[in-house]
Amino acid sequence: MSDQTLVAALLGLIEGLTEFIPVSSTGHLLLAGHFLGFESAGKTFEVVIQLGAVLAIFTVYAAKLWKVASTAHRDPVQLRLLIAVLLAFAPAVVVGVLAHDFIKTVLFESPQLIAVMLILGGFVLLAIDRFAPPVTVAEVDDLPLRKALAIGMCQCVAMIPGVSRSGATIVGAVMMGVGRRAAAEFSFFLSMPTMGSAFAYDLYKNRDVLDFSALADIAVGFGVAFVTAVLVVRWVLNYLSRHGFALFGWWRIVVGSLALIGIWADI
């Protein structure tokens, strides 16, 4: 196995491990690529690898998705969940289209910004464990539509690399009185249209420069990301319910601090 393939597998592992926990998969991938000197032609690897995580969440929630799709026309609870997800998804569509080029060409090119956002986000997670308001929404099916829209607005903050899409949505939900498990589950549901659309839009924007010459490396990264993400999604709901955010908060602070030291030392 070549060094490039090993790096692809490592990046796939990072994507799968971090996509659905509040630590910023994008931030970790960009920092790892920076320090490893990895950059695929036309950003093909970075675009395609996201699909592994997208398909993982569809696989884990296949039964729930089928239930929503097949009963929404006659079940008000399932219909409301569907509307809540679409409503929360809407702000990301607007901001993502308008700011796509700025995000990709400016924000994604600043390792220092990513490291700082990781650290700040870590302190936010530690604070949430201490100061979260009482739970008023314990089940994801009971989420009011106005709170769903507010969670969608929180998700837009995660377009800054290092913030974390799952972190922004889960923290936003918890601060609105949503239980940690329900907040994480809604974040998973919201990730499906958000990540799927982001993947499709990135593919469209990069269509002229996509390069699949390193197809084996892309396949390795994709496969590792998919398998790892499936395992993480199954684990994270129970972990958050029992233990809260402290582990992820400290992880962000340590990774962000080490990244800053590495950047300043010009490693």
Q: Give residue 152's pLDDT.
A: 96
- DSSP, collapsed to helix, strand or coil, labels residue 265 as coil
> Does residue 101 have a pLDDT over 90?
no
Q: Give residue 267's pLDDT.
A: 60
Residue 40: pLDDT band with limits 50, 70, 90:
low
> Does residue 85 have a pLDDT over 90?
yes
For residues 115-125, average pLDDT:
95
The span from the CA of 224 to the CA of 236, in Å, is 18
Who contacts 2 (Cβ-Cβ below 8 Å, separation ≥6)? none
Helices 165-175 and 111-131: crossing angle in degrees, nearest 10, is: 30
> Does residue 48 have a pLDDT over 80?
no
Residue 84, token pair as written in the block:
């809540």
Residue closest to 93 by CA, chosen among 3, 156, 137, 36: 156
pTM of the model: 0.88
Q: Give residue 215's pLDDT.
A: 77
Backbone angles phi, psi at 89, to 5 degrees: -75, -30
The span from the CA of 267 to the CA of 263, in Å, is 6
Q: Give residue 44's pLDDT.
A: 66
Q: Which of the given ranges, 163-167, 196-200, 207-211, has the highest pLDDT on average?
A: 163-167
In the chain, the percentage of residues whose pLDDT exceeds 70 is 93
